[in-house]
Structure 1
Amino acid sequence: MDRTQGAFYRVVRRELDRMVSRRLYFGVCIALPLFCILFMTTIFGSGQMENIPIGIVDLDQTATSRQISRTIATVPTSRVTARYADAKAARDAVQKKEIYAYVVIPHNFESDLLGGRNVALPYYYHFALLSVGIELHSAFETVLANLSVAPVAAAGIGQGASERRIESFILPVNLQAHPLFNPSLDYSIYLTNPFFFVLFQIVILLVTMYVLGSEIKFKTAADWLETADANIFTAVTGKLLPYTAIFIAMGILGNFVMFGIAGLPLGTGFLPVNLATALFIVATQAFGVFIFSLFPALSIIISIASMVGSLGATLSGVTFPVPYMYAPIYYLSFLFPVRHFVEINQNILYGDYGFAYTWQNASCLFVFMLAALLMLPHLKRAILSRKYENIE
C-alpha cells in the first residue's frame, strides 16, 4: 500500500511540474473557465430580449395609422428602426437581417375601420431565428390584440354601454398565465447555468484527452508508467487529480457567481448543487478517459472530443425536452454526462424534489466511471505497444 501511495504521489508531483512548465495549462484550466463564467452570466443582459429592430410600412398615412405606429414603438421587445414605402422594401430588409419583422398598415385602413368593414393588419417576422421569432410573435400578438378591440370598445361606449359590459362581451374568458419557476420569463434563469456547464464539459473533455494523449504524442508515456510503477490506475488517477481539483474549484466558483452574485434562483442550498457539480466533473473526465482509451491518438481524439462536446450540448435537454426527441436520439443522449447533470440540476434548482427523482441520473454518472475503469487495461496495452506514437 505504501508503495502504491508513493507512486501515486510521484505521478501527481510529475503532473504538477508539467502543468507549471507551460502557460497553455493555465489558459485552458483557469482562464478559459473564468471566461465561460463571465460570458454566461452577462450574455443575457436583463434576461429578456429587447430592442429587436423592426420596420413599419404605413400605406395609409392617417391619424389612426400614425397612432398604431406610435403604439408599436412603445413595445420594449422591439425597436422601430426604419419605415418603408412598400412591403417589398421591408421584405428585402428582413432578408438582409437589417430588421427582423415589419407591420403593414394597408391603404384605406382608417376609412374601412370607421366604416365598420373588415380590416387586416398583417405583420411578418423572421422565424428562421426561433427565439427571435417567438419573442416578436408574442409582442405583436399582445399589442395588436389590444388595437383590434379598441374600435369595438369605443363604439360600445359611444352607444352608452358600460366598460364592464363591453369587456365581458369582448373577452368572455379571462386567461391567467402562471409560468412556473420563472414567472418573469427571464432567459438567464433557465439558460445561464446549464449552458455554462455545456461549455465547461467541452473544456474538461479536451483537457482530459490532451493530457493523456500528449504522453503518447511526445513519447513520454513509458516514463509516465514507470513513475506509476506500471500501475495504469495509479497513472491515470494521479495524472488527472490536479485537473479534477481545479475543475471542481471552477465549477463551485461558477455556482457562486451565478447563484450568489448574479442572483439566479436556487431551490436548495449550495451543498447539493456543488456535490452534483463535482460528480459531473469526475464523470466527464471518466468519459474522456473511456473515449481516449478507444482511440489513443492525440490527432484523432481532439476532433472526436470536439464532436462529442457539441453533441452533448444538443442532447443536454436545455432547449428541447430529450424524451420527445426521435427515439434513437433519445437513447443516444444517455451516453453524455451533461444530459444527466442537467436533469439533476433542474431538479435541484427548480424544486428540490428529492433523490427519488435524481437517483437514476446520478447512477448513470457513476457508470461512466466504471466504464473508464474497464478500459484502463486496453489503454495500458496501447501505451506499451507504442503503435500510436507516430500517428500524425
Structure 2
Amino acid sequence: MMKQSLAIMKRELFYMWHDTSLRFILLIGPLLGLLFFAAIYSHQRIDQIPTAIVDLDQSSASRQVVTELKNTQDLQAAAYLDSYDELKALIQKGQVIVGIVIPAHYGQDVALHRQTQVAVMIDGTNMIYATNASSAVLTVTRTLGAEVGIQTLIAQGIQPIQAKEAYQSINFREEAWFNPTLNYAYFLVLAFALNMWQQYCMLASCMNVIGESGVRSWLQIRSSGLSLFKLFFSKSVVHLIIFMLIVLPVYFIAFKIFKLPLAVSWPVLLLFTFVFAVTLHSLGTFMSSISGNAVNASRFGMIIALPSFVISGFTWPLQAMPQWFQPIAWFFPQTWFFQGFNYLAFKNPGWLFMSHYFLILGVMAVIFYSASAMVIHWQTAARGARA
C-alpha cells in the first residue's frame, strides 16, 4: 500500500511540476504578491495630503490658521488660491484632496468672540484619502478651537493658566491597541498576499478529481484495481504539502524580513494555516467532483475564491454588511481563516477563543471531502452501469 501511495505522489509531483503555468502560479505568485503589496504600502501611513487654502481674510488670525495647516504632517499645502471656483477646479482635476476656505472677516469675528465658520471641502471619491484627510483637519480644528476658547476666557479677565485649565479640564487621550501606529502595511500586505495564495491553491485543488476522471489515464487507474480512496488521498497529501511549502517563504519574508507583527507562536500559526489549507483543498475537491470538465472546475473555483476575501470581512467589517448577508459569509472557509488570522497576528486571544475557528474549519473539511467521495462513488457506479 505504501509503495502505491508513494508512486501516486511522485506521479502527482511530476504532473504539477511539468505544468509550467501552474508551477509559476503556485511558486512565484504569492511571493510576487507579497513583494508587490509591500512596495505599495511601504510608506505605512497616508500623510502629506495635497491641500489648497483660500484665505479670503488675509488677517493675522487667518494667517495663524494657515500656519497651523502648514505645520501639520498629514496635510501638505500645495496651493494658495484666491477664490472658491479655483479650489473647485483643482479638486475636480484631482490636483488636491482637501480645500480649506477661510471666510472674510474671520479675524474680526474671532476678535469680537463671534461664531465663525471655516469651510472644509474633501474629495470623497477615494475613501482612504478622505478618511485620513478628515481626521487631519479635525486635529487642526481642535487645536485652533482650543486656542480661541482660551483667548476668549483671557479676554474676560481670567488668568491664562486658569483659562487653559478651565478649557482643557477634560482630556481625552486616544490610544490605538495592537497596531499603535495604525500602519496600513501591517494590516493589509500579508492579508493580500495570503488572498492570492488561497486563490492559487483553490485553482490547483479544483483539478484534483477532474484532472483524473477527465483524461484517459483514469481508465488505466480504474483497471489496475487501485482504490479511489488511496488515489485521492495520495494526491491530496501532495497538494497540501505543496500548499504549505508555498506559504512558508511568504510567512518568513513577512515576519522576519519585513517585521510584520505576529502575536502568536509559529507552531500555532502554521497549524491554523494547515487546517485552512485542508479545508480549502476539500472545497476545491468538491468543486472538481461536480464539474464536467477542467474549464468548469476552474470557473467554479474562481467564483468562490475571488470574492471570498471581500466577503470575509477583513477589508470591510462583517457588522457593516447587510444583516441578511452576514450568516452567508460564515459559510465560506476564507471568512473563518482571515478573521482568525487577524486575531492571531495582532491579538493572540488564546486557545479557548480560537478553538472554534479550528473546529469549524475542520468540520467544513469533513463535509466537503465526504460530499466529494459520495459524488465520485455515484459517478463511478454510473459509469460501471453504462459499461
Query: What range describes the TM-score normalised by the shorter chain of this pair?
Result: 0.7 to 0.9
Match of 2:173 among 171, 176, 195: 176
Please provide the CA RMSD for this pair.
2.7
Contact 2:210–2:291 (CA under 8 A) maintained in structure 1: no
Residue 118 in structure 1 maps to residue 115 in structure 2:
yes
* Other-structure match for 1:302: 298
User: For residues 143 and 173 of structure 2, what CA distance do their matches in structure 1 show?
Assistant: 17
Match of 1:270 among 256, 266, 272: 266
Contact 1:284–1:337 (CA under 8 A) maintained in structure 2: yes
TM-score (norm 2): 0.87
TM-score (norm 1): 0.86
* Other-structure match for 2:322: 326
Partner amino acid, structure 2, of 1:27? F
Secondary structure in 1 aligned to 2:253?
A: helix
Contact 1:52–1:77 (CA under 8 A) maintained in structure 2: yes
Instruction: Label 1:90 to 1:210 Cα distance change in 2 as closer, same or farther (>3 A).
Output: farther
Gaps of 5+ in 2: none
Instruction: Label 1:102 to 1:301 Cα distance change in 2 as closer, same or farther (>3 A).
Output: farther
* Other-structure match for 1:390: none
Secondary structure in 2 aligned to 1:301?
A: helix
Partner amino acid, structure 1, of 2:311? L
Instruction: Label 1:300 to 1:51 Cα distance change in 2 as closer, same or farther (>3 A).
Output: farther
Match of 1:354 among 350, 355, 366: 350
Residue 246 in structure 1 maps to residue 231 in structure 2:
no
Instruction: Label 1:324 to 1:113 Cα distance change in 2 as closer, same or farther (>3 A).
Output: closer
Contact 1:7–1:227 (CA under 8 A) maintained in structure 2: no
Match of 1:100 among 93, 97, 100: 97
* Other-structure match for 1:280: 276
* CA offsets 1:245-303 (integer angstroms, 9 cap, x no match): 22212322222222222222222321111111111112111111122223343322323
Deviation at 1:44, TM superposition (A): 2.0
User: For residues 220 and 177 of structure 2, what CA distance do their matches in structure 1 show?
Assistant: 53
Residue 82 in structure 1 maps to residue 74 in structure 2:
no
Partner amino acid, structure 2, of 1:136? A
* Other-structure match for 1:389: none
Contact 1:7–1:228 (CA under 8 A) maintained in structure 2: no
Residue range with higher mean Cα deviation, 271-280 or 309-318: 309-318
Contact 2:283–2:369 (CA under 8 A) maintained in structure 1: no
Residue range with higher mean Cα deviation, 302-311 or 150-159: 150-159
Match of 1:143 among 132, 140, 144: 140
Secondary structure in 2 aligned to 1:358?
A: helix
Match of 1:315 among 296, 308, 311: 311
* Other-structure match for 1:291: 287
* CA offsets 1:232-253 (integer angstroms, 9 cap, x no match): 3333333343332222123222
Match of 1:13 among 2, 10, 14: 10
